Chain A
Amino acid sequence: MSLIALLGAIESGLIFALVALGVYLSFRVLEFPDLTVDGSFPLGAAVSATLIVNGWDPWLSTGLAIIAGALAGILTGWLNVQLKILHLLASILTMIALYSINLRIMGRPNVALLGEETILTPVENLGNSLGLPFYASTPLFFVIVVIVCTLLLLKFLNTETGLAMRATGANARMARAQGVKTSWMILTGMALSNSLVALAGSLFAQSQGSADVTMGVGVIVVGLASVIGGEAIISPTTVLKAALACIVGAILYRLAIAFALNLDFIGLKAQDLNLVTSILVMIAIVIPRYKFRKARS
Chain B
Amino acid sequence: MISLTDVHIKFGINTPLETHALRGINLNIKEGEFVTVIGSNGAGKSSLLNALSGEIDITSGKVEIANKDVTRLDTSRRAGMVARVFQDPLGGSCEFLSIEENLALADVRGHKRGFKRALNESRKQPYRDYLSRLNLGLEHRLEDKMGLLSGGQRQAVSLLMATLQPSNILLLDEHTAALDPKTSQFVLDLTCQIIKEKKQTALMVTHSMKQALEVGSRTIMLHQGKIIFDIEGEERKGLTVKDLLDLFSKTQGEQLSDDALLLG
Contacts and interface: CB of A to CB of B under 8 A. Distances in A.
Interface string B233-264: 00000000000000000000000000000000
Contact of A171 (B55, B82, B93): B93
Nearest to A31: B96
B75 interface: yes
B140 interface: no
Given A160-B108, A179-B79, 12 more contacts: A158-B118, A159-B113, A159-B115, A163-B101, A167-B94, A167-B105, A170-B95, A171-B91, A173-B55, A174-B86, A174-B92, A179-B76
A160 B114 CA distance: 6
Interface in A148-178: 156, 158-164, 166-167, 170-171, 173-178
A177 B116 contact: no
Interface string B75-86: 111011011101
A182 interface: yes
Given A171-B93, A174-B91, A179-B111, A163 B105 contact: yes
B113 A176 contact: no
A178 B109 contact: yes
A252 interface: no
B119 interface: yes
B127 to A, nearest CB: 14
B200 interface: no
Interface residues of B, number: 36
Interface residues of A, number: 23
Contacts of A160: 104, 108, 113-118
B97 interface: yes
A269 interface: no
A181 interface: yes
B101 to A, nearest CB: 6
B91 A161 contact: no
B118 A159 contact: yes
A91 B95 CA distance: 27
A180 interface: yes
A174 B76 contact: no
Contacts of B90: 171
A158 B119 CA distance: 8
27 contacts: A156-B115, A158-B118, A159-B115, A159-B117, A160-B114, A160-B115, A160-B116, A163-B97, A166-B94, A166-B96, A167-B94, A167-B97, A170-B95, A171-B90, A171-B93, A173-B55, A173-B86, A174-B86, A176-B55, A176-B74, A177-B53, A178-B79, A178-B106, A179-B76, A179-B109, A180-B105, A181-B76
Interface in B51-105: 53, 55, 74-77, 79-80, 82-84, 86, 90-97, 101, 104-105
Contacts, number: 90
Nearest to B108: A160
The residue among B82, B109, B113, B117 with the most chain A CB atoms within 10 A of its own CB is: B113
A69 to B, nearest CB: 21
Contacts of B151: none
Contacts of B53: 177
B110 interface: yes
Contacts of A182: 76
Contacts of A175: 94, 105
Contacts of A179: 76-77, 79-80, 108-111
Contact of A158 (B74, B83, B91, B117): B117
A87 to B, nearest CB: 19
A167 B104 CA distance: 11
Contacts of B105: 163-164, 167, 175, 178, 180
B118 A162 contact: yes
Contact of B116 (A159, A171, A176): A159
A190 to B, nearest CB: 18
B178 to A, nearest CB: 15
A161 B114 contact: yes
Contacts of A164: 105, 113
Contacts of B117: 158-160
3 residue pairs, one from A and one from B, having the closest CB atoms: A179-B79, A160-B113, A170-B94
A205 B93 CA distance: 43
